Amino acid sequence: MAKTVELIIDGKSHTFPVVEGSEKELAIDISDLRDKTGYITLDIGYKNTGATKSAITFLDGEQGILHYRGYAIEELAEKSTFLEVAYLLIFGELPTKAEYEKFTTDITKRTLVHEDIKKILDGFPSTSHPMGVLSSLFCAQTAFYPESLNPNRPPDGVYLSIIRSLGKMPTFAAWSYKNAIGHPVNYPDNKLDYCPRFLKMMFALPGQEYEVDPVVADALDKLFILHADHEQNCSTSTVRIVGSSKASIYSAISAGINALWGPLHGGANQEVIIMLENIRKDGGNIDKWIDKAKDKNDPFRLMGFGHRVYKNFDPRAKIIKKAADDVLKKLGVNDPILEIAKKLEEIALKDPYFVERKLYPNVDFYSGIIYRALGIPVDMFTVMFAMGRLPGWIAQWKELRDQGEPIGRPRQVYTGKTKRPFVPIDKR
Ligand code: CMC
C-alpha cells in the first residue's frame, strides 16, 4: 500500500501522500495542503523543501555521495571529459562515439560571438568584476537570438540554444578577463579542444606564440567536471525559477551566474584565497583566525567551510585536495598558502565548534589554490565555477521544460501592518 502521513490540525485529520525517490529519499507531498487545511508551510531558506522531482543529480550529504545520472563523481572525474559529462547531464546518457563527435563539433562551430558583443564589452569600465560582465554578455544573447524568447521553440531550436550556450561561454569568460586588464580580446582557435581553446583566449598576447600546457588544460577539465551540477542549489534554483516563467534560456542562465557570484555560494572560492592570503600576511597565526570564525560578534566566517547539504564531507573537496597536491607538483609550484590551508583544515576538523556543527571543507576550499597555480587571476575564480556549472544549469532548465513544470511562486507569512486608513500629509 502506498505510504501516507497524517497531519492533525485542531483535531481534524488530513492525509498526504509520501513520494519516494529512486535512492529511497522520502518526501511528503503537500501540494494541496492549503486547499485542504488553509495552512501553508514555512521554511525560510528552503532547508526542507523539495522544489521538484529531478533525475539529474543525486547527493547524500550525510554519506558524502554525489552522482550525476547514476555515475559516481569520483569515477567521472577520473575517467571522463567535461564535454562528455555535459552531454550526460543534459541528455541523460553518456554519448556514443558518434554522438560525442557531433556534440563537440556542433559546439566548436558556435564559439564565435557577434562582433557587436565587443561594443557591449567596451561599455564596461575595466573595474567591472568579470562575473557582472559575464552575466550581462550571456543575457545579451537574447538580443542576438530573439527566437530564443519563444517559449514554444521546437526541440531543434532548444538544441541550438544549448549548443550556443556551451560554445560561447568560454569566449564570454575570456573576454570578461581581457576587459578587466584592458587587453584586446582573442578569437577562439577552433583547432583546439574546449579547455585549451579557453586558455588560449585568456592568456595569448598579441604577436606572441602561446602553447597550452596540457597539465593546466587537464586540471581545468577535471575541475569543470566536479562543478558541473549540484542539484537544487541557490544558482540552479534561480535558473529553474526564472526558466519557469518561460523566459529565455539565456536570461535564466544569466540569473544563475548572478546567484553564483555571492560569497556564500560560488564566490567563496575567491574569498578563500583572500582569507588564506590575509592569514599569511598576518604571520600565519591560524588559531587567531579560527577564534574569529567562532566569535558570534565577528562577521568573519571560515570561507570554504560548511555546506547546506554535506554534513560529513564534500566528496568534491576530497578529490580537489588531492588534485591540488598533484597539480602543484606537476607544475613545480610551491604555494605557501597550500600549507596554511592544510593546517587550517587540520585544526578546524579537531575543534569542537566545527565538529559539533558538522562544518567540513567544501569544494571551494582547495579549488582556488589550483586555479592560482594554473595562473587564473583571483577575480576569475567564480567565472571558472560558472563555466563548470553551465551544463548543470542547462540540464535543469531543460528538465523543467520537458516536465512542463508550473511557474515557481512561493507563498509567505505576512508580518507587516494590518489594514489602516490613508491620511494625506498636510501640504499647505
Ligand atoms: N565558519 C564559521 N561558522 C560557520 C561557517 C563557517 N564557514 N559555516 C556555518 N557556520 C556556523 C553558523 O554560524 C551556524 O552556527 P550557529 O548554529 O551557532 O548559529 C551553523 O554553523 C550553521 O550555519 P548556517 O549558516 O545556518 O548554515 P547554512 O546551511 O545556512 O549555510 C553555508 C551554509 C555554506 C552558506 C555556510 O556554511 C557558509 O557561510 N560557509 C562559508 C561560505 C562558503 O564556503 N560557501 C561555499 C559553499 S560550497 C560551494 C557552493 O556550492 O556554493
Kindly report, residue by residue over 50-69, the tens digit of the pLDDT: 999 999 999 998 899 999 99
pTM for this prediction? 0.94
Q: In sequence order, what are the beta bridge partners of 65?
A: 60
pLDDT of residue 14: 98
Q: Give residue 257's pLDDT band: very low, low, confident or very high (50, 70, 90).
A: very high
- Give yes or no: residues 199 and 308 share one domain: no
For residue 225, pLDDT beyond 90: yes
The average pLDDT across 20-48 equals 97
pLDDT of the residue at 395: 98
Q: Identify the pLDDT of residue 109.
A: 97
State how far the Cα of 158 lies from the Cα of 300, in Å rounded to an integer.
Answer: 43
- Grid cell, residue 70, equals 547514476
Has residue 410 been placed in a domain? no
Please identify which of the residues 221, 227, 307, 314 carries the catalytic annotation. Answer: 307
**Percentage of the chain modeled with pLDDT above 90:** 89
Instruction: List, in order, residues 6 or more apart from 418 with CB less than 8 Å away.
Output: none
Residues 148 and 228 grouped into a single domain: yes
261: CA distance to ligand 1 center in Å? 16
What CATH number should be reported for the domain holding residue 77? Answer: 1.10.580.10
pLDDT of 74 higher than 90: yes
If one counts the domains in the chain, the total is: 3
Confidence of residue 157 (pLDDT cuts 50, 70, 90): very high
292 within some domain: yes
In 3D, which of 298, 392, 389, 302 has the Cα closest to residue 345? 302
Same domain, 218 and 233: yes
Q: Does residue 218 lie in a domain region?
A: yes
Does pLDDT of 286 surpass 90? Answer: yes
pLDDT tens, position by position, 189-211: 999 999 999 999 999 999 899 99
Query: How far is the CA of 181 from the CAs of 119, 131, 264, 369, in angstroms?
Result: 17, 14, 26, 21
Query: According to the model, what pLDDT value does residue 325 have?
Result: 87
**CATH number of the domain where residue 305 is located:** 1.10.230.10
Question: How many Cβ atoms from other residues are within 10 Å of residue 384's Cβ?
Answer: 24
- Position 159 confidence tier, pLDDT thresholds 50, 70, 90: very high
Average pLDDT value for the chain:
95
Q: 358 CB less than 6 Å from ligand 1? A: no
Q: Is the CB of 364 under 6 A from ligand 1?
A: yes
* 125, part of any domain: yes
Same domain? 129 vs 62: no
User: Does 128 lie in the same domain as 36?
Assistant: no
Residue 51 placed within a domain: yes
Domain presence at residue 416: no
Average pLDDT over residues 335-360: 93
In a domain, 424, yes or no: no
Cell numbers at 286, concatenated: 591560524
17 backbone dihedrals φ, ψ, rounded to 5°: -75, 150
Could you tell which of 305, 309, 353 is best to mutate to test the pocket of ligand 1, judged by most ligand atoms within 8 Å of the CB? 305
306 CA distance to ligand 1 middle (Å):
5
Residue 312 has a pLDDT of: 85
Do 256 and 123 lie in a common domain?
Answer: yes
Does 214 share its domain with 334?
Answer: no
Specify whether 246 is located in the same domain as 278. no
114: annotated active-site residue? no
Separation between Cα atoms, residue 259 and residue 307, nearest integer Å: 16
Quick one: 16 and 162 in the same domain? no
pLDDT for 249: 97
Q: Which tens digits make up the pLDDT trace of 288-347?
A: 999 999 999 999 999 999 999 998 889 999 899 888 888 889 999 888 998 999 999 999
Q: Each residue of 123-145: pLDDT tens digit? A: 999 999 999 999 999 999 999 99
| Cβ of residue 264 lying under 6 Å from some atom of ligand 1 | yes
Say yes or no: CB of residue 268 within 6 Å of ligand 1: yes
What confidence score (pLDDT) does residue 188 get?
97
Q: Judge whether 415 lies within some domain.
A: no
Give me the domain span that covers residue 39: 4-66
Residue (of 240, 264, 230) closest to 89 by Cα position: 230
Q: Do residues 105 and 223 both lie within one domain?
A: yes
Q: Based on the fold, state whether residues 173 and 279 are members of the same structural domain.
A: no
Identify whether residues 119 and 224 lie together within a single domain: yes
